[in-house]
Structure formats: structure tokens, C-alpha cells
Amino acid sequence: MPRAPAFWFRHDSWMASVLSPLSWIVAARTAQRIAETGWRAPVPVVCCGNLTVGGAGKTTLVLDIAQRLIARGLAVHILLRGYGGSAKGTRRVQVTDAASLVGDEALLLAAAAPTWVGADRAASAQAAIRDGAAVLLMDDGLQNPTLRKDFSILTIDGATGFGNGRVLPAGPLREPIAAGAARCQAAVMIGPDRTEANQRLSFYKLIFYADLVQGPEIAALAGKRVLAFAGIARPEKFFEPLSASGAEVVATRPFPDHHAFTAKELKGLLDQAKALDAVLVTTPKDAVRLPPDIRAQVTVVGVSLRWHEEEEWEALLTRAVGGA
């Protein structure tokens, strides 16, 4: 997925103004699609969605929720489209699957809970329920009408917010803010709210705040020379904390989101790390796209969420799953 154009994050862009008529068409078509009636599952359906294209932290949020609900003894199954994968129909993800088949995010989630990929969320939900799911947790799909949601959580990247507030192609939004937020029961802001996106949700009663915290493996990098690479929506979300942790980041290599690394690119990374006498470091999402022999030569630094309102967040999840 190519990086977002700069004008999506500028409120004074002439390009955004020129494209606005097309945005009205996109918004109208999205509203028409969302109005369709989806299948009602007999178990709670919790959706972690967002309003913008690109990463907002949905997968990290889904992992947090899944781990908390599993700790309560609930049989949680995760549903997602499987972006970047070639699998057709509905498929239960195996941890041995290739990222090219099911997508990188699906492999990360499958390590935590039973995970299903498929464009038809209703079909995935039905398969998961037959397999024993007591709670269905959707990674994305807020604009997908095939499965009714019982509880939707709007995920927001604190650094980029809602961009210029315009719908595609004039801005990064999949639909107008008010329309999407109205279908959600809560919002989660991941990282400091640098764009005051919460002001766009002034009518909201439930906005939770969380910070990204890198995993314990980062401690071993303190004082070491590091070459960091990442193919995620905003690679700087990975690069900046590495420096703050005490690692000496001597070089960074950003790639497009879900990038399929070529043999030439990987050799170049290994050669550059050797020349710089640096440790090669990447994200778990990138690591699952690496061949095993390359992955063994790379340090993987994970990430989790640290909540500002821990008890309130647990209480919200109780409300979200109801009597499951």
C-alpha cells in the first residue's frame, strides 16, 4: 500500500478542494452500502474499526482486547479480511500459513486466538461459531455491512487523527466523521492527540486513551547501533521509540505498508547492517513477511498498549461482550 499523499493532512490544499466532488460520490456510495442489512450472529460481535485508510492501530487494539477476554475464559475468535493475502473464500488461519496467503496481520492475530480471513464477514462468523466461538472480534470492517456489530470501537491514530477531515480521494476518510462515529459506542485514541481529533468527537462520552509501549526485547538494544526497517502505515511510529529507548539508530529504512520484500532488498538490508556494524531491527508485522533464514538474523521488537484508564477499559469490555 503506497504512502498517503501529503495533501490529505493539510486543510489549505487546493488539490483537496478540486477532488471534493468525487468525495461526495464516495461518501454517498459508502452510506448506501453500509445501509444494507447484515447477518445477526447469536454471539457478541465487537468491531475495532477506523475512519481513515491506512494504519490507526486496529490490530494492536484487537490483540489487547483478545488477550483480556481470553484471560476471562472466553472463546474469542478474530475476523478480518486478510489484506495482502491471496486466500479465497473463508479460511481459518494457521500459524504456518504464508503471509502471502492470509496477510501479515492475520498471522499476528492467529498467534493469540483462532483467526479467520475472508471478505464476507458473515461467512467467517458462521464458520467461527461452528468452531466454538463465544465472542467475535473484528479487526476492521466498520464499513462492511455483511455482519451486524453489537459494539463498535472507533480507533484513532493520535498523530494523524482524521487528516484534513475529507473523504477519499480528497482526504484519508472512508466516510464522514459524524456518520462513522455515530455507529460506534466508544473511541480509542492511540498516542498523544496531536491534531485535536477528540474535538471532532465532542459529542462523545466514551473516549479512551492509550500509549504504544514497545516490548521487553527493546531493553537488549540499549546502547547498540541499530538499523531499523518497517513496512507499516507510519514507519516513524516504530523508529521514534527505538531512539527514545536508548538504542543508537544509525539508519532507518521505511517501506510501504504490507510491503513484499524482494531478495534484493533483503540482501541490501543485511549488507547495510554489516557495513554499519548495526543490529537489524523490525516489527512483528514485518517479521512474518520475511523468509525464515532472514528472520533469524533480525531482532523483532513488539508493541502493546498502556491504558490511561485501565479499570474503565476493563469495564467497557464487560459491557461490550454482554452476557458472553
Rounded Cα distance, 72 and 218, in Å: 29
Residue 230 scores a pLDDT above 90: yes
Average predicted confidence (pLDDT) for the chain: 94
Domains observed in the chain: 39-211+306-321 (3.40.50.300), 216-301 (3.40.50.2300)
10-33 pLDDT, tens digit per residue, is 999 999 999 999 999 999 999 999
Amino acid at residue number 153: I
pLDDT computed for residue 2 by the predictor: 65
State pLDDT tens for residues 103-131. Answer: 999 999 999 999 999 999 999 999 999 99
In the sheet where 115-117 sits, what is the strand order? 91-92, 115-117, 76-80, 135-139, 45-49, 151-157, 186-190, 207-214, 303-307
For the cut 90, the answer to whether the pLDDT of residue 244 exceeds it is no
Residue 323 has a pLDDT of 67
End-to-end CA distance of the chain: 37
Q: What percentage of the chain reaches a pLDDT higher than 90? A: 88
Average pLDDT over residues 226-236: 93
Check residue 86 and give its pLDDT. 95
* pTM listed for this prediction: 0.94
Task: Check: CB of residue 301 under 8 Å from CB of residue 219.
Answer: no
- Does residue 71 have a pLDDT over 90? yes
| Mean pLDDT on 92-99 | 96
CA distance 101 to 120: 17
Task: Report, as an integer, the average pLDDT of 181-204.
Answer: 89
Helix (H) or strand (E) holding 224: none
Q: Can you give the pLDDT at residue 35?
A: 93
Please name the residues in contact with 183: beta carbons below 8 A apart, sequence gap of 6 or more: 34, 142, 149, 152
User: pLDDT for 265-314, tens place per residue?
Assistant: 999 999 999 999 999 999 999 999 999 999 999 999 999 999 999 999 99
- The pLDDT tens digits for 137-186 are 999 999 999 999 999 999 999 999 999 999 999 999 999 999 999 999 99
- Tell which residue, 145, 140, 122, has the closest CA to residue 34: 145
Q: How far apart are CA 151 and CA 165, in angstroms?
A: 24
d(CA 79, CA 126): 11
**Over 90: is that where the pLDDT of 56 sits?**
no
